[in-house]
Amino acid sequence: MRIGELAGKAKTRASTLRYYEERGLLQPPERTPAGYRNYGDEAVQRLEFIDRARAAGLTLAQTAEILEVRDAGGSPCGHVRDLLDRRLVEIDEQLEHLRLLRTSVAELRANAAQTSPEACTPESICRYL
């Protein structure tokens, strides 16, 4: 399978696949005599895995780590559990931060609805913020 076909199956682009190879997420495939990358069917699964990892918010570097462990014949399960745990903590922190932000922006907006435009004095710049 050439790179364009694989990209089509994975709903991404050839340039992305070359980038993944550079980042260590895809192993360098065989080449045809002309130098074209020639992928086997298993590359599709690998890309699906990468996509699931991305959907879980793992970085490419983290995903590459997992795949390296696998490629070395190891079992990355414990590592993956750790990454998922850390992701959960991060997500909870982001949620908390966003909730607080939502509250304060909503307050700002509520003020803006009440305040007359004249409140924008030169020294306060804008009372809304």
Partner DNA sequence: CTTGACCTTCAAGCATACTTTAAGGTCCAT
Partner DNA sequence: ATGGACCTTAAAGTATGCTTGAAGGTCAAG
Cβ closer to a second copy: 11 or 99? 99
Q: What is the nearest approach in angstroms of DNA to the Cβ of residue 37?
A: 3
Q: Tokens in use for 15?
A: 């340039």
Q: Which amino acid is at 92?
A: D
The span from the CA of 126 to the CA of 129, in Å, is: 6
The interface partner of residue 53, options being a second copy, DNA, none and the CB cut-off 5 to 8 Å by kind, is: a second copy
Q: Which does 89 bind (CB under 5 to 8 A by kind): DNA, a second copy, none?
A: none
Q: What is the closest distance, in whole angstroms, from the C-beta atom of residue 101 to DNA in the complex? A: 14
60 binds, among DNA, a second copy, none (CB under 5 to 8 A by kind): DNA
CA distances from 102 to 111, 116, 118 (A): 14, 23, 26
Residues β-bridged to residue 38: 30
Residue 24, Ramachandran bin (φ over 0: left; ψ between -120 and 50: alpha; else beta)? left
The one of DNA, a second copy, none whose footprint includes residue 108, by CB under 5 to 8 A per kind, is: a second copy
| CA–CA dist 26, 19 (Å, integer) | 9
| Positions that interact with a second copy (CB under 8 A) | 42, 45-46, 49, 52-53, 55-57, 66-67, 70, 75-78, 80-81, 84-85, 87-88, 91-92, 94-95, 98-99, 101-102, 104-106, 108-109, 112-113, 115, 117, 119-120, 122-126, 128-129
Tokens of 95: 């949620």
